[in-house]
Structure 1
């Protein structure tokens, strides 16, 4: 794929728990299935091999369809930093890179999340079309992560997820 642009989504969230607790929620399949691209009730697969070069996979069943998200771990610094790829093969072969950094605060921790989003171009797109697509991908991703991070916060702070928008 040679015709594409990229945009970066960066989000920061605070949690009233240790960085280790939030870090674990990104890697523990039992926790992942409750918030990471899926919900416990719709999750079909939540598996991972949390080591550099290891892979992860989530399959969520919604509206009669399976949605599969996969990736590979690039960097793992326990309780501090996680870098991995993210791809949904049924929609695109493009692979985004996600970085999660955790910092201990006096009370709890701060998570800085960034996603390098690849936006494939369609034939005959003008610069205005590209700008519009970049905005839509960015805003759509931000909306999705926002909902997931509400679930993540609830999970790490209370042990369960009840919110769904």
Structure 2
């Protein structure tokens, strides 16, 4: 499935292979790799764009380095949702490998691999693969409206990058 966002230069590509435990995301940004990387590793920027428009985020713990940990809470009109994980590899401006766990389903741990590619002309391609513990966990995430949150979050990130964040 491919979702076009409301910018005229990029498209979110979401690949959800049937029967597979993974989701692949590809998204281009009109910003250099260092800016896109910083938006993923600087907690003050991360909380501004992560997730759908209806939520606010608060960092509990954030150590964006190889071997570090992270944790945050997202809040909306329905309540609070906690997330946590570990940074397994942080390669500046190139790659982030981390675990991702929703506190509501603590047995379902995902491995996320994010790669940034410099496209030249101040543009970056973000490629991310999430590997779930089961096909069922992956399908539950997709059914939860994940795509909507990704699209809105990356649209917010576009606006922040345009503002120089």
Q: Shorter-chain-normalised TM-score: which range?
A: 0.7 to 0.9
Equivalent-residue separation in structure 2 for 1:8 and 1:41 (angstroms): 25
Residue correspondence of structure 1 range 1-165 to structure 2 within 5 A: 7-37=21-51, 42-45=56-59, 47-107=61-121, 108-119=123-134, 134-138=138-142, 140-159=145-164
> Greater CA radius of gyration, 1 or 2?
1
| Change in CA separation of 1:37 and 1:46 when aligned onto 2, cut-off 3 Å | farther
Is there any run of 5+ residues in structure 2 with no aligned partner, and where?
1-18
Q: Deviations over 1:87-120 (max 9, x none)?
A: 0112332110111100111221111111112347
**Across the two proteins, how many residue pairs are aligned to each other?**
145
- Displacement, 1:33? 0.9
Is there any run of 5+ residues in structure 1 with no aligned partner, and where?
121-129, 161-165
Instruction: Report the structure, 1 or 2, having the larger strand content.
Output: 2
Q: Deviations over 1:130-162 (max 9, x none)?
A: 5xx7545345433332222222222222247xx
Aligned-pair Cα RMSD in Å: 2.6
What TM-score, normalized to structure 1?
Answer: 0.75
SS at match of 2:31: coil
Q: Which moved more, 1:57-66 or 1:97-106?
A: 57-66
Equivalent-residue separation in structure 2 for 1:50 and 1:35 (angstroms): 17
